[in-house]
Structure 1
């Protein structure tokens, strides 16, 4: 299937009705839509339904301690569901920036602009009523979660915790008055094309200049304490990045509990200066290579068996580095090179063939240049869009 043939062309008969999601029955329909839309797409990786339900649950998701999510469904004249969107208020974002920006996420629709426009309008109207002046997205529900719109790289499956969508979504956003406000890149580094010699020389120089810096792996016996250390470094290291919103303690603990099930402690590194933690990096096995076999997003009755069988047969041979951070005081010392080199070397020893570094902001020219010199290639392009309300 060609990338432009992700979904069959359709024209929804007017009028398009958009309704807010209230109650479990409509929420199940909201969650179910992508599994129907992408049923025949070989690149889309189905998330587990229970994970999506948890993100949208005020009772289970710590996002709701400071934010709001209002989902909407679009129905055609025969009351068939043809699209969805969520309007999002991120309290932590507003607390940091006070810029009147609301968000949209969880956007999916059939290839009919009338449906997309109706959904965008519903989300915009709801955000206006919350007193907001701009709408940005997609975020699901925040930049600390799955975020960004795929705009290039449709003929390849996404890595773990990365989004996928058909090509026409970007066109729909632009026709609806959105403009791109940030570009993010996913770099693919394969061991066959790795150029590590220059990096190795640079790391040797960094080690000589910073003799008190040591590197260790994650201590699973102190997992909760280690998670708090990583949170502290992350919130400091990323604080000046475009769009950054600090994670709350509960949000990070929620994420840490989820990652504990899949993390390989030999692939999580913490840099210390004479015993004081100053940096970290996180490398995850690309579980999407196994999850893609559970097409309905359910573990039972057969999904778990398919996932475990795929993993046992060697389906997971790639990794993704979603997070890396260095405390501000230690910027400019080249310590990130220590983390990148150790990640590559340890990943190879653990049997992984390639790594996706994502996403990298277009403004981070230092890291972009470093990845290209390392032999990395641009694999996918993502973007965030915004419009005034």
Structure 2
């Protein structure tokens, strides 16, 4: 028999966070998140998303042993913006036992109904910079630090419990060519000249700090119409700046400015942390941080994380500037491969830009929904 236990104490929360490390022990594709990041994201006193979200977490136990977990989240800014009374589920993991997955999902469904919600969708986080989407294709492909990996039985369990596709995200692996196609180089040069743009000359992470506000403002603007997106708050922006800007490699962060020094586009890539995170097993101490620092300095793969262009400049060659600038750094640093973060299946404009490269679409992830 499955027992469902709500997470109430710090000890419970640690069990919740550590469960996938046990479930995926020995799996050669799973990339562990940082334990510290997971704890901070799930704690009400640490995550500023709780300004507009509420959440509860549950563990599933069998014979006193943790066999599953799930989070239920209500994002009130999402409901206000999109007019859909959908709760979210996230942080869902379970052994291959239909009784366990059914009990976990039923618990969140009951809670969502009690809160007046009419649907439940996920896996989603508190905001759109959290990991989202259940893997439905590409189970034998290496995961990345910024995405969810799950066993092939997960989507089967979801569908058996009445969940259907809401949206899909696709992921691509690109070969970095020795030279960019002429069409991209010409488009880059034309866009720089035509719109009087320039590339920020940043040598150190601190060189980006005067532009952080503009970067996040553009992120909010450019992503506002994408699936389920709600704008990041000032508190969230401060948190992400503090957490991540000290770790960026300026070679792979490109900011495009107009004649008034306003941010009109940016691209953020990271040297792949996949193998480093697997070595750390989610812990920075005592030696985990060394693996991360090594990966940031020497790597043959980058993860393309975020790209944003002012709506009025989209489709006018500004993306080509970002490609051209990042490509120069890839060649200089010996990068041969790029992993693209998930892109909405419906976002044909973004996906079509990869046609200029040797690429393969190797993963697909899904947001499921069930109407209550």
What range describes the TM-score normalised by the shorter chain of this pair? over 0.9
Structure-1 separation of matches of 2:255 and 2:168? 28
Counterpart of 1:66 (choices 22, 27, 52) is 52
Taking the aligned partners of 1:127 and 1:350, their CA distance within structure 2 comes to: 49
Q: Which residue of 2 aligns with 1:214?
A: 198
The correspondence for 2:83, drawn from 88, 98, 102, is: 98
Cα distance in 2, alignment partners of residues 217 and 155 from structure 1: 40
Partner of residue 147, structure 2: 162
- Contact 1:73–1:83, Cα closer than 8 Å, also in 2: yes
TM-aligned CA deviation for residue 55 of structure 1: 0.6
Q: CA deviation at 1:44?
A: 0.8
1:374 partnered with 2:360: no
CA distance in 2, matches of 1:80, 1:25: 14
The answer for the alignment partner of 1:291 in structure 2 is 277
Aligned length: 370
Quote the Cα distance in structure 2 between the aligned partners of 1:74 and 1:362.
Answer: 33
2:296 & 2:362 partners in 1: Cα distance? 23
1:305 Cα deviation after fit: 4.9
Q: Aligned pair in 2 of structure 1 residues 35, 95: CA closer, same or farther (>3 Å)?
A: same
Task: Determine the C-alpha separation between the residues in 2 that align with 1:202 and 1:365.
Answer: 19
Q: Does the 8 Å contact 1:49/1:298 carry over to 2?
A: yes
Give 1:171's match in structure 2, choosing from 136, 156, 169: 156
Shift in alpha-carbon separation, 1:179–1:72, aligned structure 2, 3 A: same
Other structure's SS at 2:341 match: strand
**Distance (whole Å) between structure 2 residues aligned to residue 109 and residue 331 of structure 1:** 42
Q: Following TM superposition, where does structure 1 have runs of at least 4 consecutive aligned residues deviating by more than 6 angstroms?
A: 309-312
Cα pair 2:138 2:363 within 8 Å, conserved: yes
User: Which of 232, 235, 248 is the aligned partner of 2:220?
Assistant: 235
RMSD (Å), alpha carbons: 2.0
Shift of 1:317: 2.3
SS in structure 1 opposite 2:151? coil
Aligned-partner SS, 2:111: helix
**Residue 117 to residue 217, structure 1, CA distance change in 2 (3 Å):** farther
Do residues 301 (structure 1) and 281 (structure 2) align?
no
1:42-53 correspondence to structure 2 within 5 Å: 42-53=28-39
Aligned counterparts of 2:288 and 2:313: Cα–Cα separation in 1: 45
Stretches of structure 1 lacking an aligned partner (at least 5 in a row)? 1-14
1:107 aligns with 2:83: no
Query: Does the Cα contact within 8 Å between 1:217 and 1:266 map onto a contact in 2?
Result: no
TM-score w.r.t. length of structure 2: 0.93
Deviations 1:104-148 (A, max 9, x none): 000000011111111001111111222211111101333221111
Q: 1:304 to 1:204 in 2, by over 3 A?
A: closer
Residues 1-389 of structure 1: matches in 2 within 5 Å?
Answer: 15-76=1-62, 78-191=63-176, 196-210=181-195, 212-218=196-202, 220-274=205-259, 275-295=261-281, 297-305=282-290, 307=292, 314=298, 316-389=299-372
Q: CA deviation at 1:214?
A: 1.6
Question: What are the superposed Cα offsets for residues 195-250 of structure 1, whole Å, 9 maximum, x if unpaired?
Answer: 6333223333434533x122224464354432111011111111122222111111
C-alpha separation between the residues in 1 aligned to 2:106 and 2:149? Answer: 23
In structure 2, how many angstroms separate the alpha carbons of the residues matched to 1:302 and 1:283? 24
> TM (normalized to structure 1)?
0.89
CA distance, structure 1, for counterparts of residue 117 and residue 178 of structure 2: 47
Query: 1:191 and 1:63, CA in 2 relative to 1: closer, same or farther beyond 3 A?
Result: same
Secondary structure (helix, strand or coil) at the match of 1:75 reads: strand
Question: SS where residue 31 of structure 2 aligns?
Answer: coil
